[in-house]
Amino acid sequence: MAVFPGGGEAKRKGASKQRRPNIVMVMTDDQTVESLRSMPIVEKRLARAGVSFPNNFASFPLCCPSRATMLTGQYPDNHGVRTKQSPSGGCATLLPTEGNTLPVWLQRAGYHTAHIGKYLNGCGSATADTHVPAGWSEWYGALDDPDAYIGGTYTMYGYTLYG
- Angle at CA 18, nearest 5°, toward 138 and 116? 15
Handedness of CA 146, 150, 154, 155 (dihedral sign): negative
| Distance set, CA 48 to CA 30, 40, 42, 52 (Å) | 22, 10, 9, 9
Catalytic residue among 63, 64, 91, 123: 63
For 70, other C-beta atoms within 10 Å of its C-beta total: 16
Q: Is 123 part of the annotated catalytic residue set?
A: no
Q: Buried b vs exposed e over 119-135: b needs ≥16 C-beta within 10 Å?
A: bbbbbbbeeeeebbbeb
**Residues belonging to the active site:** 63
